[in-house]
Amino acid sequence: MESQTILIKDTIIIGDEINKGSILVEDDKIAEINRNLDSNDADTVIHGEGKVLIPGLINTHTHLSMTLMRGLADDLLLDTWLNDHIWPTEANLKGEHCYVGAKLACAEMIKSGTTTCNDMYFFMDQVAKSLDESGMRGNISHGMLDMGDEEKRKAEFKESLRIIDKCHNTADGRIKVSLGPHAPYTCSTELLKWVRKEATQRGVRIHIHVSETEFEVKNIIETYEGRPFEYLNRIGFLDDDVLAAHAIWLSESEMEIIKDKGVKLSHNPTSNMKLASGISPVSKMLDKGINLSLGTDGAASNNNLDMLEEMKIASLLQKMNNFDPTVLKADDVFKMATLGGATALGWEHEIGSIKVGKKADLALINMKAPHLTPYRHPISHLVYSANGGDVDTVICNGKLLMQERELLTMNEKELLEDAEETTKDLLSRS
């Protein structure tokens, strides 16, 4: 196969330092970064004047197919939202629903600068198909919950292993599979111990929700005589391959456990605020050296997948919660959305920063807009002023997924029509 090259000329590159220059992509990697690169031999030349080049954003906690439930049930308590609306709808999900919902999510993520996601849901081979076709990078997991039911537990084991066997390390290595126990309060100790054993033996990661609500914490204390992370540590579940989403209701001792075990966390501020779940002590954990990343959660509880917007909300929420405008600075939250996310998924040596030899996962942001003028501090503008609509061009694994706001790996008009019809079909079954 012939080498394919993309040259992005004369742009502001957000690397270890912020410099103006050009970048050459060859096949799936960043081949050269220089102030002056010859465009004569490049297959594709992109002019980057007035734009900023960033690493592709990394969304470390999603439920992609829930785009079909966007706006389905808003302004409700979490228990009501789940029990009366989301779970009854999910009971009627079919593979086609999850395929179309995930593809819609991929379009939304690409158009807002995200190149990698970490997804937990159902019919995950259909989700993998959507990710593959979109050109994105993703870590996927079948959401497992048994509520103490042995037959259900066995079925979850079987489906999780099927997805690993079918999808792990597919799509030229862009798709990996984790084990996805839903949460300590929905999964038995037997299921969690099985997950730990299988993850270690198979060399796959673990994706789980932990301490999302105060109710959950009380439930675990009553059931297992310890807080969630204390309980998970006691049963030998925690290690540096675990990514825990939310982590809101934490004690000091739990934060020490998280640090000592190298557990990675995904902060989901918009979803947590919308469901009034609470505020994660992110700034305190960053001070302790814990790896924090950023996620949007699903579109049913956010209600979008815009990581640029998520960065701003994450920063402002910590400032307000601490009554301190100096915490979670723009640089800190930008790192959470890029290299922090890559580290959370075990991909830090391949993605998350712009360096020669790393995978070419890149997003070009157009800074020529009223809300981004005057242009002074690129990272500050990206975090506090930009939004997904400012993303001009997106590359993943060296392949153009969007150029000048046009999606190249899917037909956007047909996809939107398909998503509307698929949603009608899903809701008609509920």
Give residue-wise pLDDT tens across range 264-274: 999 999 999 99
Which of 400, 390, 366, 395 lies closest to 307 in space, CA to CA? 390
Are 216 and 306 in the same domain? yes
Residue 17 lies in a domain: yes
Residue 177 identity: V
Cα-Cα-Cα-Cα dihedral sign, residues 8, 11, 12, 16: positive
**pLDDT number for residue 38:** 78
- pLDDT tens for residues 221-237? 999 999 999 999 999 99
* Predicted model pTM: 0.98
Q: Residues 75-91: what's their mean pLDDT?
A: 90
Which of 166, 192, 171 lies closest to 180 in space, CA to CA? 192
For residue 24, list its beta bridge partners.
7, 32
Are 220 and 131 in the same domain? yes
Q: Residues 58-70: what's their mean pLDDT?
A: 98
Q: Confirm if 296 and 306 have CB atoms less than 8 A apart.
A: yes
For residue 52, list its beta bridge partners.
12, 365
Which of 290, 298, 250 lies closest to 272 in space, CA to CA? 298
**pLDDT number for residue 41:** 80
Range of the domain at 390: 5-55+358-407
> How sure is the predictor about 98, in pLDDT bands with cuts at 50, 70 and 90?
very high
**pLDDT number for residue 82:** 86
**pLDDT number for residue 39:** 75
Alpha carbon 347 to its chain centroid, in Å, reads 13
Are 255 and 367 in the same domain? no
Are 142 and 105 in the same domain? yes
Residue 70 lies in a domain: yes
The count of structural domains within the chain is: 2
**pLDDT number for residue 318:** 98
Residue 421 lies in a domain: no
- pLDDT tens for residues 342-374? 999 999 999 999 999 999 999 999 999 999 999
Alpha-carbon span 386 to 370, nearest angstrom: 11
pLDDT at 36 over 90: no
Name the one residue in this structure whose structure tokens are 């706001």: 405
Are 18 and 95 in the same domain? no
Residue 145 lies in a domain: yes
**pLDDT number for residue 193:** 98
Alpha-carbon span 344 to 207, nearest angstrom: 10
Give 8 or 78, the one with higher predicted confidence: 8
b/e string for 358-389 if b means 16 or more Cβ within 10 A?
Answer: bbbbbbbbbbebeebeeeeebbebbbebbbbe
Are 169 and 213 in the same domain? yes
Are 64 and 28 in the same domain? no
Residue 84 is given by DSSP the state: I
Instruction: Quote the tokens at residue 377.
Output: 């501090």
> How sure is the predictor about 215, in pLDDT bands with cuts at 50, 70 and 90?
very high
Residue 429 lies in a domain: no
> How sure is the predictor about 2, in pLDDT bands with cuts at 50, 70 and 90?
low
Are 31 and 110 in the same domain? no
- pLDDT tens for residues 311-334? 999 999 999 999 999 999 999 999
Residue 102 lies in a domain: yes
Are 19 and 83 in the same domain? no
Q: Residues 378-393: what's their mean pLDDT?
A: 98
Return the CATH number at 77: 3.20.20.140
Alpha-carbon span 412 to 58, nearest angstrom: 22
Name the one residue in this structure whose structure tokens are 């060399």: 203
Are 273 and 376 in the same domain? no
Residue 424 lies in a domain: no
Return the CATH number at 391: 2.30.40.10
Are 312 and 391 in the same domain? no
Which of 101, 5, 107, 25 lies closest to 362 in space, CA to CA? 25
> How sure is the predictor about 394, in pLDDT bands with cuts at 50, 70 and 90?
very high
Are 163 and 287 in the same domain? yes
Q: Confirm if 245 and 266 have CB atoms less than 8 A apart.
A: yes
> Three-class SS of residue 20?
strand
Residue 308 lies in a domain: yes
| pLDDT above 70: percentage of residues in the chain | 99
- pLDDT tens for residues 255-311? 999 999 999 999 999 999 999 999 999 999 999 999 999 999 999 999 999 999 999
